[in-house]
Each structure stands twice: as C-alpha cells, then as structure tokens.
Structure 1
Amino acid sequence: MKDVKPVVGESQEKPEQIREMFSSIAGRYDLLNRLLSLGVDQSWRKTATQLALQNRPATVLDVATGTADFALMLKKALPSARVIGSDFVPAMLEVGRQKARQQHIDITLEEGDALSLPYADQSFDALTCAFGFRNFASFERGLQEFHRVLKPGGRAVILEFPPPQKGLFGSLVRFYFRTVLPFMGSLVSGKKNAYTYLPESIMAFPDPEKLRKMMEETGFSTSYQALTFGLAAVHVGVKR
C-alpha cells in the first residue's frame, strides 16, 4: 500500500485518502495517539467519558471509533450501556475487535460513514467522537449527522486536538508536531506521510470557540473546556 498523505481541512477528496492512510497504520494507531498527546490522551478520554456518561445513557455511539479505545473505556465505565463503535476503516475495526475479545468486553463495532451514519433518527442517548472529527470531509455534515441520530436532550462529546495556542507553550507544541513527531513516526512505522498529515490536520482544525459556534448553529447547546494547557479540548453539545 502506498504511503499517502490526505489533504488537510474540509475536502471532498479526503475520504478515500483517509481510509487508505489509516488502513496502513492501523496496527500502530494507538501508539500514534500516545505520541500526538505526549502520553496523556488516556486522562483526556477519562474526562470525556465522565461527560458523555453523566446522565447514564442506555445507548452510546462512538463515531470514528478507530481501534475502539474510547468505546471500550465507555463500556467499562458504564457496563449497562449498549456501546456501538462506528468507523469506515475495516482494518481499524478489526484491531478494535481483537482488543475487545482480549479484554472480554461486549461492544459492537460496525463499518459506517460518519457523514452518512447507518442509524435511524433519534437512536442514541449519547454520542462521542475522540480524535477523529478533524478527519471529516465536512465538519458541518458530521455535526448534522450527530444531531440527527441523537435523541432530544442527548449529549454529543467531541474530544479533539485544537490548533496550538499562541505563546511559548504553543510554539513548543508546533515544533514537536512539525519536526519531532514526523521523525519519530517514520522510525516507528515507516509511514512518514501519516505522521506529517495528522499534525497538519490539527493546525487546520477550527479553534475551540469556532467549533462551539458550529455546534450551536447545528442545534446543540454547547460548552467546552481546554485540557492540559490547551493541548486538547472537549466539547459537550446537548441536543435542543
């Protein structure tokens, strides 16, 4: 499989490029998240889990579930919930299924396009998306689908890397993303383009306030909080 680097930002050309790229790094994807987050992504997921499960939902959909790290965490935190993970990269889902079997956790992992979710209107009490939203070809369309499949009062929780803030810390993060991470990723996986695209996709992603406004315009009452000096942000939208 060729080493492809998808375009960043919103683009109709992204889906096939994204599928090919993530298929090529599926076995190393969890390591990639550790590198991108400087090793603290699991603590962010715990925060997002608490927010997503605040009202003890009966049904939860994890969109762009990847290798199912977040779906597994949700199920462990609330065993009574039915947790479904959806992703359009079969190779990532297979890694997730292996992890679920090894941990003896009962979740459902299904192939599906985040911009055209294969679920009926008002199907879920809660919906999550961790570190996958910035890879969507259309943020607006993705939010519309989130809103459509949630029940009234349902919660959408988006955990993502916003663009680095201004100042010394932001400058250090940009240097790490643009220089150190691609080098490390290439050494570990041999897929330099993937480890170049992902930091670039962070730089092109809307800042937290802009994403909040996009969610509000879609029909969510939205708040957000920065995590680890703004290295990550978690948005919570309640369907009005």
Structure 2
Amino acid sequence: MKPYNTGKSKKEEVRAMFDGIAPRYDLLNHTLSASIDRLWRRRVVRIVGRCRPGRILDVATGTGDLAIELARRIPEAEVLAVDLSVGMLAVARRKVAQRGLSGRIDLEQGDAEHLFLADASVDAATVAFGVRNFGDLDRGLAELARTIKPGGKVVILEFSRPRNRVLRALYEFYTFRVLPRIGGLLSRDRRAYEYLPASVEEFPAPEEFLRIMARAGFANCRARSLSCGIAQIYIGER
C-alpha cells in the first residue's frame, strides 16, 4: 500500500510523506506511544551490543533516535545512518550535533534497496519501524544481508498486531480511530497518520516475516514479542 495513491511509486510517496511530517514527527511519535518506543529501542541496542560491533548500519534511520542510542551505548562503534527523507535527516543532524555525536554518526541520504556500501562491510545492521515502508521488502532485506559480514546480525524493530482479542480490539481502536485524528491535527497530514497504522495491518505476521528474512539470506531467524505483541524484534544472522 501507499500513503497517497497519487500514481507515483511507494518509495516516492513515502519520501514525500516523511519530508512533510518531519518537523513534528518526534513529538507525535513519543507522545502517541507514551514513549514506550524508547524502551523498545534500548532492547535493540542491547542485542546489537552483544555482537561488539565496530561498524553499524542503521537503515530508515528517520530522525536518528536509534542511531543516537547505538552511538551512546556502544561507544566503540561507528554508526552509518541512512534514510530516504531529506526532511527527516535534517532533524536527525540537529539532534546528533546537539548531543556531540557528529564524529560518531555519519548521516547519509540513501535507498534501502540500493545501498552504497560494499559487500560484508558492516558488523551489524538495524531498522526501527522502517521495513514496512520499503518499496520492495525482499530487495531491501537482501541488501541488508549483502552488507553484513559473516557472523554479523540484523536486528529489526517493527510494529505488530497483538494476538489477544481484547488487547487487539483496544489497539485497533486507538491506532485506527484516535491516532489518525491527533496525528492529522498536529501534523496537518491526516493521510500520513492513516497510512502508518494501515501499513502495520498489511505487514506480514511474525512467522511469515521470519520466512521472508530467511529467503533474503539470513539464518537462525527469530522474533521477540514486545508489550504483548504490539511490536516485535526480529533477529537474523549472517
């Protein structure tokens, strides 16, 4: 699915959407999630840290929250953060500079499906809330696999749908009724905040996504449920 259905590619529409909502993205993201997304990112960082990586690739970095956490908590690592959206990267650059991490985090505009890195050039790769926005999911995952060294890991954080019926009903009421109204009001782009929860609904279930990861070249793929299934951490090895 695409945010606007203008006839342009999903990639073009996603880039335009994030350019438009970038100025208020952090405020809305942390407020609408009650900042639980920060805790989820720290779980990702702990998993990555166990690999003792020297170089980490963070794809779909957005405003840089995960890249910043990786750089802060894994001080020996260099972080290369990539995103399609110039608007999101502008916000990320300000945040990185404010935290004194400009020498540790390299922010670049780039396409997850056509990464500019050499084969086997990073120790670990991460994606937080970005794989469902890939224009071609299989291609994007295959590119991640290509760039990771043998023995390295990919760690993906993504929203999911709770399996408990009561919790799922509450979750869907919030994401499909409440979130678009608040997000649309504050960002002035209601369609963006209708697309974001709808893209979660369309995203493969955890079992299917693990099969897609394996098809892309990852081994020992597994998932860890977060907050009763509201999100998942997916891990794959090279």
Query: By the TM > 0.5 criterion, same fold?
Result: yes
2:158 pairs, out of 157, 160, 166, with 160
Write the letter of the residue equivalent to 1:143. Answer: L
1:79: Cα distance to partner?
1.1
Between stretches 120-129 and 30-39, larger displacement belongs to 30-39
For 2:120 and 2:4, locate their aligned partners in 1 and report how far apart those are by CA, in whole Å: 32
Aligned position for 1:224: 223
For 1:181 and 1:191, locate their aligned partners in 2 and report how far apart those are by CA, in whole Å: 12
1:176: Cα distance to partner?
0.5
- Is 1:192 equivalent to 2:190 in the alignment? yes
Q: Displaced runs of 4+ in structure 1, greater than 6 A?
A: none
Higher relative contact order (CA 8 A, sep 6+): 1
TM-score, length basis structure 2: 0.94
3-state DSSP of counterpart to 2:139: helix
3-state DSSP of counterpart to 1:51: helix
1:166: Cα distance to partner?
4.6
1:103 pairs, out of 92, 99, 106, with 99
TM-score, length basis structure 1: 0.93
Aligned position for 1:146: 144
Write the letter of the residue equivalent to 2:30. Answer: R
- Is 1:22 equivalent to 2:22 in the alignment? no
Write the letter of the residue equivalent to 1:16. Answer: E
The answer to whether the 8 A contact 2:30-2:37 is kept is: yes
For 1:130 and 1:123, locate their aligned partners in 2 and report how far apart those are by CA, in whole Å: 20
Alignment: residue pair count: 233
Residue by residue over 1:89-135, the C-alpha shift from the partner in whole angstroms, topping out at 9 and shown as x without a partner, is 11111110000111111311001100000111111000000001100
For 2:224 and 2:61, locate their aligned partners in 1 and report how far apart those are by CA, in whole Å: 22
- Is 1:89 equivalent to 2:47 in the alignment? no
1:56 pairs, out of 52, 57, 68, with 52
Aligned position for 2:66: 70
* Structure 1 gap ranges (5+): none
The answer to whether the 8 A contact 2:162-2:228 is kept is: no
Between stretches 56-65 and 182-191, larger displacement belongs to 182-191
Equivalent residue runs for 1:106-125 within 5 Å: 106-125=104-123
3-state DSSP of counterpart to 1:229: helix
* Structure 2 gap ranges (5+): none
Residue by residue over 1:19-71, the C-alpha shift from the partner in whole angstroms, topping out at 9 and shown as x without a partner, is 10000001112133225534300000000111112111000000000110000
Percent sequence identity over matched residues?
43
Write the letter of the residue equivalent to 2:78. Answer: R
Superposition RMSD on alpha carbons, in Å?
A: 1.6
